[in-house]
Structure 1
């Protein structure tokens, strides 16, 4: 027998053994073995029972998202991410290796950034924030949380456009658009990215910016996780002047006055580019079973009680007031802390019409009544109302554009978010149905009076919604063309089930 023939027999036998092993242990275990045996990334792989694995799973914002992948791999460089992607997409004769991509792990629907029977790529070690004074750019890892970003940059006298919750991850916020307190002045977070470093489906590490891979650059600004794994965001900075901000709480009985103040604030939003406001209805069993209105005010100059908030601040009977001169890290800290609860987000947009706001409040009270009658344990119910004016994207085109389709809207509108959290998996159907009820009923009412706005903010959307479709047909076509160009084999459509997939867009 020749040496060649003998070698072929060995290969065939080994392949048969591998397939048999794969059938016994499952393809995910086999894929974990592939990673663990790779000399370049093997030490980054952790398994159930190991402390690093357990800490990663326990750190997800939503308890429902704390799935148990077969293994977790935590790369520490873009080269390691590329090695992992190549290993997981190699044609090994086994079943395909499915995987999830985690930045901050804040999206609260099952499977968004974690996976059962697969591998989770946890980017939390890619969390550095550095600043180049010559270019005035901040380079930020996708696994960083916004509190750490702000702390680093504030010490250097600069700031970037980022999230309004300290614990939110950088990667998810930016690829969903990214609303900021500074957005009127400087635009959305995604439009402040000068360059993305991206690992593509074939393992190549590329830069996407206005001059290189420009179509990918545009698509990443709102396109979620459909094109690759972003390993660095190079963001434009501006001088950090400090701000005046915090939370003011009021009795629930003031909601009509708050809505009147909000609609007027939005009508006059052009008069002061520094002012941002969010009106929130809130009920918490942990806060004495009280219904409240909690407003977030953030003025992006160090000015106390600016005139932009006069109508809000004239509302009588406030219960608490944390407004003060502080940095962004302090303001976002008031939204910090993931409850050890199960969470529902949903979203909707509608015109700046007080009739819709009043209807939304009526429906919110219906939900409170049902939950007070049927829910057990501790739970919280929020309804958030915030403006999205056209000025947020006025400079987008000159910066390479984004894919959100917001240029269709010439008037400021309201982004709505029901945010419910609760204890116990047995209550999932109750709370999720009530969140969906709010979205559906408000949408129907808005449509009935011609106040519909066909845009869904991806970072608030539930998995049952279709935010990519809300960008408009032409932008969906652009997204799909970019997907076909940079991921022709559909790795991020087929092997990464989490996120809002282009392949599922109903348009």
Structure 2
């Protein structure tokens, strides 16, 4: 508990320090940027301050000294140079879906990339240039007229930039790997203001670092990703009564052990909310119709609600919203698994019920993500995450949401304890390995850096020292090298 108190105290100290310094540099930025960009201040009648600092949960939002919406890469260059010169705390926000305070929020200069919102499809290269200010829902919708999809977020409201820089488990992971495996180029504003296009050929080290290395190397103003020719996909969500849990777990194990079709994916979920255990599942098939046999067992279990049908990828993702009521607070955390067993599924269900009953007013959720053994074989190049690709590892997602009457520190402590317990359980059960990488996009703030980047830390730090010798990006939150 002492270390937890220090962690929250450090966040508070950073907030007090940063606000005055941030306000000073805000005026400098306002005078430097072009008419394509705007600077907004709290309390002002004009501007987009409230939207610029907003996140999917209130606990990730901070009151910035000002918000900046750059409209061009050149303005991003001017902004980052002024921030670096002033050594002012700042943050860069794409879609605002980070669950960790300070990772894309600040009490200094809040940079919102919302004006970088274009999607340009290139038929000749089968790629799309995507702006970092978008959420995946919008990306899918923009590409639908071209008859292509992209390996992006699986639920509604997820920002494409942070998702891609941190990894990107997606509905096509069995077929093409993580989203970062499908990136062919990054337009990057380096910490010194230089604007470059980073590819495997132009800068192999920096290309490696941007694939899972987060916001340590500059500000990405454009992602170029592979596209895949597709029509409709099939899938959706099913909610079950608590009594269906044994049948659901048996079906999950049967799927995990026997289904080898790479087009088929599932996300079973255990949630405890309003005093009740609620099992559910999301089914997905990369085809226009329900495949034979694969999902029959799940569909045969008596359910409370089912919305499973053919539709576009955009429509499927939109049917799985993550929007939260105003004022809701929330964290993510992750556990890394190598497989599943009936004992492990029981342990996950028990954790859901145990903590759900002891945290009134908190929605407690655990989401299971089984993948094929081959998910990391689709990219021959090394990446910052994961730092090893054999054996295959899979993330278990913990997602807790609550209102302001529950102390954040209490939920933080529970999530950390639960993740540690399930990690130890999985290692003992043979469904986990000690020291496995924790998915950066799920890992709770305070997770040791070695658990995120592992054996890649040395190489990443060398690249960081070359690209950012004055540690400008260290003025922002995130997994800092």
Maintained 8 Å contact 2:187/2:197? yes
Aligned-pair distance for 1:364?
1.6
> Where do 1:47-66 residues align within 5 Å?
47-50=41-44, 51-57=46-52, 59-66=54-61
Is the CA contact 1:455–1:467 (under 8 Å) kept in the aligned structure 2?
A: no
Indicate yes or no: 2:357 matched with 1:369: yes
Q: Distance in 2 between matches of 1:41 and 1:480?
A: 37
2:377/2:389 contact within 8 Å kept:
no
Q: Is the 8 A contact 1:131 1:137 kept in 2?
A: yes
Residue number in structure 1 paired with 2:478? 499
The offset of 1:305, in angstroms, is 4.5
Q: CA deviation at 1:284?
A: 2.9
| 388 and 219 in structure 1: CA distance in 2 versus 1, 3 angstrom threshold | farther
Give 5+ residue unaligned stretches, structure 1.
1-22, 503-507
Residue 343 (1) aligns with residue 330 (2): yes
Matches within 5 A, 1:252-331: 252-269=242-259, 271-285=260-274, 289-314=275-300, 316-331=301-316
Report the aligned-residue RMSD.
2.1
Greater Cα offset, 234-243 or 34-43: 34-43
Indicate the residue corresponding to 1:19 in structure 2.
Answer: none
- What residue is the counterpart of 1:248 in the other structure? 238
Q: Work out whether residues 57 and 66 of structure 1, in 8 Å CA contact, stay in contact via their aligned partners in 2.
A: no
Q: Does 1:46 align with 2:40?
A: yes
> 1:240: how far off?
1.7
**CA shift for structure 1 position 451:** 3.3
In 2, the alpha carbon distance for the partners of 1:154 and 1:310 equals: 29
SS in 1 for 2:213: coil
Question: Matched residues in 2 for 1:112 and 1:218: separation?
Answer: 21
Picking from 454, 457, 463, the partner of 1:476 is: 457
Aligned residues: 458
* SS in structure 2 at match of 1:37: helix
Paired residue for 2:470, among 489, 493, 499? 489
Q: TM-score, normalised by structure 2?
A: 0.90
Distance 1:272 1:227, change over 3 A: same
* Largest Rg, 1 or 2: 1
Residue 53 of structure 2 contacts residue 112 of structure 2 at CA under 8 Å; is this kept in 1? no
Q: Deviations over 1:180-238 (max 9, x none)?
A: 11111122111111100000010001111111011111111110101110100011111
Q: Which structure: greater helix fraction?
A: 1
**Superposed displacement of residue 337, structure 1:** 4.3
Cα distance in 2 for partners of 1:264, 1:468 equals 34
Deviations 1:348-406 (A, max 9, x none): 012323222211211221111112xxx34xx4221101114342221211xx4322236
Give the distance between the partners of 2:350 and 2:240, measured in 1 at CA: 18
State which of 3, 28, 33 in structure 1 corresponds to 2:27: 33
Pair 1:365–1:426, CA change in 2 (3 A): closer
Question: Residues 39, 448 of structure 1: CA spacing in aligned structure 2 closer, same or farther, 3 A cutoff?
Answer: closer
Contact kept in structure 1, 2:33 and 2:75, CA below 8 Å: no
Partner of 1:430: 410
**Superposition deviation, residue 67 in structure 1:** 1.0
Structure 1 stretch displaced more, 224-233 or 452-461: 452-461
TM-score of the superposed pair, with normalisation by structure 1: 0.86
Distance 1:347-1:141 versus aligned 2 partners, 3 A rule:
same
What's the CA shift for 1:407? Answer: 4.2
Say if 2:370 is the partner of 1:387. Answer: yes
* 1:130 equivalenced with 2:115 (yes/no): no
Q: Is contact 1:140-1:232 (8 Å) kept?
A: yes
- 1:11-67: per-residue Cα shift (whole Å, max 9, x none)? xxxxxxxxxxxx9x9322211121122253695111011353443256310101221
Q: Larger deviation: 131-140 or 323-332?
A: 131-140
SS in 1 for 2:369: strand
Cα deviation for residue 97 of structure 1 reads: 1.4
**Compared CA separation, residues 449 and 130, structure 1 to 2 (3 A):** same
1:42/1:326 CA distance change after superposition, 3 Å = closer
* Equivalent in 328, 340, 346 of residue 358 of structure 1: 346
The equivalent of 1:107 in structure 2 is 98
The 1:57/1:342 distance shift into structure 2, 3 A limit, reads farther
